[in-house]
Chain A
């Protein structure tokens, strides 16, 4: 009888611990996360322009490393930094720096070649990536 009670207690405790762990599961650490794939900014944008649905099936919610030349960097009042990568079109690949990561730098020179790793969230004029960190 005692054994059953102990067993039940153990199960309840384990269940609680798993629940608690899941509840507080941290966001993916972008610095250490591995990119699912790497692609050139222009190629990514062109695929999205050609067929958004097909591109979403390939890239949506994937962690991708995108390389390209910096077109513009903007910094919002709340500190949000976005870097737009040139694709030769009016719109580009817009990388929003991760608010949860420490960034060695948030200034980027127009024209310099950079690579950002981030989550592809889809097409909204630009192809958007959130939680980006620079890859060296």
Chain B
């Protein structure tokens, strides 16, 4: 009986490596940049969340639209009221997974190129997207960095003809996050 208990304990101990774990952050930095001929616009949120399942490579991201801070108050107002309608659509989300997950070894320190595929939801519109990024394993944490472009027109974000020189249809998004093993009370 005792042997069996021991065996059971050993099984539990060995079957729970870093692999079967979820990684989490509430400090993901999400930045976007619009580079139109007349004007450059930039905003950042430092409170995005991300959960990554280290067993499957599945991930979920979420950022609150009203949490984006702009240099100019007026831009922030227009962004929320005219373009993102953030009272109606308070967040942007991404749900997807790493498609080349077998090329990555999350139990070994190092930097890996990750390809991610999934559903991006912005302004209430959901789109399939594919992006790539760097996933760096080190100090027990996963660092994720990615840069990609989304089109306003893909998410039904309307830019009036008069603003075309001020706001680009192509918005560059930068995601920079360090995910730590999820623990209770995180």
Contact = CB atoms under 8 A, between A and B. Distances in A.
Interface of A: 22-28, 56, 60-61, 74, 76, 78, 80, 82, 90, 94, 96, 99, 119, 121-122, 124-126, 128, 130-131
Given A23-B74, A26-B73, A27-B73, A119 B46 contact: no
B121 interface: no
Nearest to B47: A128
Given A28-B73, A125-B49, 10 more contacts: A22-B74, A24-B72, A27-B73, A78-B46, A80-B46, A121-B64, A121-B65, A124-B49, A124-B63, A130-B69
Interface string B55-94: 0000000111111010011101000100000110011000
Interface of B: 26-27, 46-49, 62-67, 69, 72-74, 76, 80, 86-87, 90-91, 184-186
Contacts of B46: 76, 78, 80, 96
Contacts of B47: 82, 94, 96, 121, 124, 128, 130
A23 B48 CA distance: 28
Prevailing SS type, chain B contact patch:
mixed
A61 B49 contact: no
A119 B66 contact: yes
A35 B69 CA distance: 19
A21 to B, nearest CB: 10
Contact of A82 (B27, B62, B65, B69): B27
Nearest to B28: A124
Contact of A74 (B27, B48, B65, B87): B27
